[in-house]
Amino acid sequence: MEKRITCFVMRQDPAVARMNEDAFLSQALVSNVVVFDMPQGPSAWSRELLNDLAVSAQSDYILLSLSPDRFVLGAWALERMCEIADSTGADCLYADYYDEKDGQLIPHPLIACQTGSLRNDFDFGKLLFIRSSAFVQAVKAIQQDWQYAALYALRLNLSEKTPLVHVNEFLYRAEEHDWRKSGDKIFDYVDPRNRAVQLEMEQVCTGYLKRIGAYLKPEFKAIDFSEESFPVEASVIIPVRNRVRTIEDAIRSVLNQQTNFPFNLIVIDNHSTDGTTEVVDRYQSDSRLIHLIPQRTDLGIGGCWNEGIHHPRCGKFAVQLDSDDLYSSESTLQQIVDTFYQQQCAMVVGTYRMTNFKLEEIPPGVIDHREWTPENGRNNALRINGLGAPRAFYTPLIRQINFPNTSYGEDYAVGLRISREYQIGRIYNVLYLCRRWEDNSDAMLSREKMNQYNVYKDRIRTWELEARIRKNRQSL
C-alpha cells in the first residue's frame, strides 16, 4: 500500500510522544513521523513552527496533532480519512473521537464548521487531517510573525479555499486531561492572563474579515435620544424562572439604585413553581416594580425580554440583570444611562466580577472585555462568544430588532445586530457581580448541549457575516 501520510506528533512527555510515534508508524499509510516541540506550551502556535512543519510535508496528506496527549487510532481510520479527502477534494478534515479516562471511552462528538465558526477556540478535536499542498500554501499565506495565532490563521486560510469537513464518525481516542465543568471552561478566552494571545487572534480575524468582504469600518449611525417620550428613563428587566434562592437579592439590588432620573423594574416571571412568584409579590407595594407573568408558556429568556421591552411602562433604556446576579453598587444604573449620552451609543456593555454564591471573588476575577475597542469591537465580536455584562439597550431600537426566543445566545444575537450599524458603548468599571453556582444554566452542560449551543452561536455569526458582506457590496 502506498505511503501517503506524514504525521506530526507534539512532544511534551517524551514517553507519550514515543508511543504516538510508534503507533502512527505502524499504520500502513504512514510514510514518516515528525516529532515537534512547543516550548511555550500547547497553545503557542507560531508562524516559525508551522513553517518548519511545512518543510516536512512531503506526502499527499499530513496528520497534525493539536495536543500532546496519547492517541489510539480507530480501525482503518486513516484509510477512511484518505477516502473522504480523495472523493470530495477536501483540504482539511477533522473527526469525532473518544476521550479516554480511567480506561473508559467517553464519546466526544464535534460540530460542523460553518461560515460563522470564527471562534479561535472552535473544537476541531485533537487531530487535523490536511492535504499537504493546501497546508503548505496556507502556511505561506501567513504574513505576520505570530507567536500564538498561527494555527488560527492557518485554519482560516484553509477555509477560504474549501470548507473544513467534519467527519461525524469516531475515528480515534485520546487521553483527556481537562475535566473542568463547562461553566469553568467558558471564561478561558477572557482570562486577563491570555491578553497577548487575544490581541493576536483579533488581528488574524480582522484580516480574514477584510479578505472576505465582511469587515466594517468604524462608521456608525447617529442616535437621537429625543425621538420618543417614555414613562421613565430606564427599566431594569429581569426574566426569571425558579430562582427562589436569588431573586430577592436581584430585586433589592435594583430598588436600592440611586439615580437622578426615574426608573422602574420589570420582572418577567416565566411561570415559576418554586416560590419565586411569592418572593416577587412581597415587593408589589413598591410602585417601581412591575411583575409580569406572560400568558404564553413557550417563552425562552429572549421571549421574556421581548415581553419587557414592549411593555408600555418600559423606559427609554432597557437594562439587563440576570435573576441570580446583582449590581455591584448603588450607582450602576446611573453610570449606564450616563454612558448612553456620553458615548452616543445604542447599546452599553459593562464590566463584571466573577463570584461564588457568597459573592466572594473567584477566578478569573474581573471580566472587562477589553478586546472591545470603539474602532474594531464590532469586528472582533464575531470571534468571541459573548459581549459581557451588564448589557443595556436603547429601547426604540431593540423594539425594532427584538430578541430571538431562545434561552442561550439571545443577547449575543442582538449585540451583533446592533453593532452592524451602531456604536456599542463600554464601561470598564465593575458594575455587576456574576454569581457562579450549581444552578447556573451553563454550569455543567453535557457535551451534546454545549454542541447545540455552539452550533446556534455559529449560525448567528453566519447570518451576521452574510449580512455584513451584503451591506458592504451594496455600499460600493
Q: Classify residue 230 by burial, with Cβ atoms within 10 Å: 0-12, 13-18, 19+.
A: middle
Find the mean pLDDT for residues 304-322: 98
- Quote the percentage of the chain above a pLDDT of 70: 94
DSSP E strand stretches across 140-269: 165-175, 234-240, 263-269
Cell 430606564 -> residue: 234
The answer to whether the CB of 9 falls within 8 A of the CB of 34 is yes
Tens-place pLDDT, residues 210-229 = 999 999 999 999 999 988 89
Tell whether the model's pLDDT for residue 190 goes beyond 90.
Answer: no
Find the mean pLDDT for residues 48-72: 96
Domains 5-179 and 234-474 share a fold: yes
Tell whether the model's pLDDT for residue 179 goes beyond 50.
Answer: no
Strand partners, 391: 349
Please report, as a single letter, which amino acid is at residue 3. K
Tell whether the model's pLDDT for residue 450 goes beyond 80.
Answer: yes
**Cell representation of residue 254:** 435594583
Please give the Cα distance from 402 to 414 (Å, whole number): 7
Tell whether the model's pLDDT for residue 206 goes beyond 80.
Answer: yes
CATH number of 5-179: 3.90.550.10
**C-beta contacts of 132-135 below 8 A and 24+ residues apart:** 132/6, 132/57, 132/58, 132/59, 132/60, 132/61, 132/62, 134/91, 134/92, 134/158, 134/161, 134/162, 135/53, 135/54, 135/57, 135/62, 135/64, 135/91
Give the range among 56-70, 248-262, 364-378, 412-426 with minimum mean pLDDT: 364-378
The answer to whether the CB of 356 falls within 8 A of the CB of 435 is yes
CATH number of 234-474: 3.90.550.10
Q: Where are the domains of the chain?
A: 5-179, 234-474
Tell whether the model's pLDDT for residue 191 goes beyond 80.
Answer: no
Q: Which H or E run contains 184?
A: helix 182-185
Tell whether the model's pLDDT for residue 400 goes beyond 90.
Answer: yes
Q: Count of residues for the chain? A: 476
Tell whether the model's pLDDT for residue 468 goes beyond 80.
Answer: yes
Please give the Cα distance from 417 to 427 (Å, whole number): 20
